[in-house]
Amino acid sequence: MKTVFSGIQPSGELHLGNYLGAVRNWVRLQDEYRCIFCVVDYHALTQDYDPKEMAKRVCDMVADLLALGIDPDRSLLFLQSMVPEHTELCWVFNNVTGHGDLERMTQFKDKSATQPENVNVGLFEYPVLQAADILLYKAQLVPVGQDQVQHIELARRIARSFNHRWGKVFPECEPMLTNLPKLLGLDGKAKMSKSLGNHIPLSAFAAEKPLWKLLRGAVTDPQRVNREDKGDPDVCNVFTMHKALSTEEDLAWVREGCTTAGIGCVDCKQRLSGRMLEHFRAYVERRAAIVADPSIVQKVLEAGAAKARALAQRTMTEVHAKLGLWRSP
């Protein structure tokens, strides 16, 4: 069975974009692969954050992942900073990573532009730590969007360079490209994101009113100004959400009603709201139970770190031997 590795930054409660763009796929992957899911809190240090919030962000995210169906009995779920071998392997990998390779990383260039006041070495090194995250567990597959492919290709080059210089330890990992919907935010302009404030937090699915408050303002087909205007569902972000969560019958109803002006956007959004509440009902119940007992998250993170460390230490023993470092005989 192949090993799949995925990392997610501890941004706190998840939103619909995180779910449709990653976590729903992770839940399915558990049926076919040995999955390793890591909350990458060391990666989060590359950006400004409030240290008083960090522990809560981790716990909220883990509660969400468990409630959505990440199963710690089948998959490994743990916190990166509880396994120090990640940063140790990162240091080793620094010695087979070209400075020019890191300078070419598109995400580094983009992030440097958006946070010019804090272009730190961690940001520059981010893909090397990411390579260590993946290769520490000898993962062969990494589910990513197109924007992360460059990082996975670099991880593959790092594995190849290590193996060439010191001897074979690591497999050459590959991106696992998934055809997931590209969900825009409620503003209909940019990708759904908590930092842009255009998101639907999963907590909104707990009740009809908060969800409707968000959906009511969601941008639709800009050409459809009045109810009698005919619309094009294929340019409407609300339809993208329908495609992800509604039935075939709903989709046919929306397509027909939108293109003939037989339904209004309010009707369309109300149908979507109902489907969303239905889809997330089990999640809402499971999350409430998890949050009511903080020891659940604590136990998952402690057990996950113990299992991850055992695997990580096995890899590092091989690495130390290849590097020729002195160890007690």
Site of interaction with ligand SF4 (CB under 6 A): 220-221, 224, 231, 233, 236, 238-239, 254, 258, 263, 265, 268-269
The alpha carbon dihedral of 308, 314, 317, 319 has a sign of negative
Secondary structure class of 187 (helix, strand, coil): coil
Given 52, 56, 109, 111, the catalytic residue: 111
Residue (4 or 236) nearer to ligand SF4, CB: 236
Distance in Å, CB of 188 to ligand SF4, minimum: 10
Distance in Å, CB of 261 to ligand SF4, minimum: 9
Give how far Cα 168 sits from Cα of 23, 42, 142, 230, Å: 32, 27, 20, 61
Tell me the two tokens of residue 253: 């109803």
Phi first, then psi: what are they for 191, rounded to 5°?
A: -55, 145
In angstroms, the CA 24 to CA 244 distance is 11
Residue (258 or 308) nearer to ligand SF4, CB: 258
Do the Cβ atoms of 162 and 96 come closer than 8 Å? yes
Annotation marks residue 269 as catalytic: no
Q: Which residues contact 27 (CB under 8 A, 6 or more apart)?
A: 68, 69, 70
Given 138, 191, 243, 307, the catalytic residue: 191
Q: Which DSSP state fits 297?
A: H
Distance in Å, CB of 107 to ligand SF4, minimum: 32
Residue (258 or 301) nearer to ligand SF4, CB: 258
Distance in Å, CB of 223 to ligand SF4, minimum: 8
Given 138, 194, 243, 307, the catalytic residue: 194
In angstroms, the CA 16 to CA 21 distance is 8
Annotation marks residue 111 as catalytic: yes
Residue (46 or 240) nearer to ligand SF4, CB: 240
Q: Which amino acid is at 276?
A: M
Residue (89 or 254) nearer to ligand SF4, CB: 254
By annotation, the residues acting in catalysis are 111, 191, 194
